Every structure is written in structure tokens, then in C-alpha cells.
Amino acid sequence: MKLDKKEILKALESITVAGEGKNMVESGAIANVVVFGDEVVIELVLHVPAMHIRKRAEDDIKKTILEKVFPDAKIKINVKIEAPEKAEIKGKSIPGIKNIIAVASGKGGVGKSTVTANLAVTLTKMGFSVGVLDADIYGPSMPIMFDVESEKPLSVTVDGKSKMKPVESYGVKILSIGFFTSPSQAVVWRGPMASKALNQMIFDADWGELDFMLLDLPPGTGDIHLSIVQALPITGAVVVSTPQAVALADAKKGVSMFMSEAINVPVLGIIENMAYFTPEELPNNKYYIFGKEGAKDLSEDLQVPFLGEVPIVQSIREAGDCGRPAAMQTGSVIETVFEEITRNVVREVIDRNENLPATEAVKITTMAGCAAVKK
């Protein structure tokens, strides 16, 4: 059998490269197809040097040709990596959303979702309009932390289109995959399915006017992170870590991911969670259970801001479990801690956002009670 180039290209239109959104032919990833009888040579151009993305693309091409074109085809794939010297975020803006902050962690279990929830309510108390997108597809936490597990987003019509209306709790607008699955149901999806679900929650939702959208990313570095940063114009990223060495090693990778040429997202800083333990009966004592100032030292090594430290306090866990973020407790130590961290985050947003109008910078600074105004 003689292979047909047009038939091969048509078959390859069914494949997408992770994080790009368009099919291989449309995106230009298939630079050339050369056919010699039952042999085919594919020239593949990728813009992300990640090995797992390259391998998946090669496997998808071979599988598609063998299944849809000719089962005995001899396939050779030549891969060329063309990472731009300075990558630009490809994401399109969402009307009405001024700043998008990704909250990430290299390692799971360091309290990233807890930090996200408390940052959100603190921003709201400062007078900002805030939304949270729970992008942790495989372990959504926001419905529990905001006591809205039983809620479901409503459908509303906006400009003739049907959109999801985020669930609102404590003044924060929230969307999570947890609203669409039962608490006992595991989400067993491959990367493309997870990315599609996230895109729907981002672009098919009526978020309204927001000063800040916080993205609670899954731990690690992978497909979802790549899809998010390519789908949205991220203002900056906040990395959460505990002081222990094993967590810091992964946090370093998280910072490196955002600073890489392929991602190129500003790192607003590092937050150290579970920094120390203070017993209620001994308020002046600090016990550094997981090590002392590890995240602070890491921030100095990586030359990124240190945004603050959150102590181990029982009320944080209790508040999260009962669905009322601890930073809402007026007069508490945690309220003070998160107010300082949130002010630091806002300062970094102002300092790094060169396109922010001066009037908007003054407004944000005033609302947050910051000391410095962007010149």
C-alpha cells in the first residue's frame, strides 16, 4: 500500500500537543510529512522541551497513523525543539478580571489550599472583589474550606450564552471540580480531559468584575500547570512550602518552573507554612518542628521575595475543617499573620505589573493598607 500525505495530515488533525490547545497540524507542530511507499517521515516541531510531552506526541502520532491510516506503516519522527528566546504568555485575558495569581507548591500536603483560602478572605476583608478557581482537579479542597460542599453552580445567560455562575461564600466567588462530583468519587482523567474541564470553569463562567482571581494549582509541575499558564495571562505566582528539606527541594522546582523560558511567569514570592509551633499556654515559645526558616533561606538563594510565615495553630486546621477560613477570626494571631502576607502579595503585584494604571495602583495600595505606592 502507498501512503497518502493528505490522509496522514487529516488523521493527525485529531491530535493536540499538551498545553497548546490547537491540533498538531493547525498549530504548526507538524512541519512536514514525507511519504515513500509504506514509509512516512514526520518533521515535528515542539516549543516545550519537556521529555514527557515529546514522548506523548511521538506515541500519539504513531498510534494515529497505524490505527487510522495504515497498520503496517513504517514511521520515523524527527523532533526539533524550538523554544523561543523569551517566551510570551499565550493566554487571553478574561474581561473583568484584573489580576490572576497562581498559588502553587512543589510538594503536596504543605497547606497550599489552606493558604489560598485565607489569602482570598483576607483580600475580601481589605475591600477587593475576589474569585478562587480550584484548579486542583484530582484533590479539590475549596468546597470543604468554604463550607459549600452541597452547593452547585447555577446556569445563567450572559449576552445570549449560557454560563456557570460561581458559588459565593464569605464574599468570595468559587468554582471547583468538587461541585460536579460526589465527595467519594475519584477523578480519573488524563491531562487533556483535566485541561478541558479547567478551560470550561475559566472561560464558560460568569466571574463578573474581580480585582483578584486566585488559582489553587495542584502540587508538582505538569500538564495542568502548563495548560493554565498558556490559557491565562498570569500576573504572578506564589509558592507555598514548609521549612523541611524535602519540601524545599520541590518548592525550588516549582519556582524554577515559573521562571523557565517556556513558562515565564513572575514569582511574587514564597510563603513558609507550618513555620513553627507555639502552644496556647506558652504564647512566647516557638518550636521549629520542621526546621527553622528553610523557606526564607530558599527565597534568598533564589532571589525571590519572602512573603511571610504561617505558624502551626490548631485553629487553622479546625477552621478549614468546618468551612470558615481562620483569617476571618477577628483579633486572632492568624488574622494578623495573613493580613501581613496579603499586603506583601499586593505590593509585589503592584511592583511587577508595569501595565497597571497609576490610578489603579493607588486604589489597590489604599485598599490593602500598603505603605508603598508604585512610582
Give the annotated binding-site residues for ATP: 106-113
Q: What Cα–Cα distance (Å) separates residue 12 from each residue in 66, 192, 263?
A: 11, 16, 26
Contact 233, 345 (CB under 8 A): no
Grid cell, residue 256, equals 524554577
Could you give the CA distance from residue 109 to residue 374 in angstroms, rounded to a whole number? 35
Give the three-state DSSP class for 46: strand
Sign, CA dihedral 168-140-193-131, equals positive
Could you give the CA distance from residue 134 to residue 200 in angstroms, rounded to a whole number? 12
Contacts for 291-294: CB closer than 8 Å, 24+ residues apart: 291/243, 291/244, 291/245, 292/243, 293/243, 294/241, 294/242, 294/243, 294/244, 294/245, 294/247, 294/248
Give the three-state DSSP class for 299: helix
Could you give the CA distance from residue 358 to residue 364 in angstroms, rounded to a whole number? 10
How do beta strands 172-176 and 167-169 pair? Answer: antiparallel
Helix (H) or strand (E) holding 105: none
Residue numbers in the known binding site are 106-113
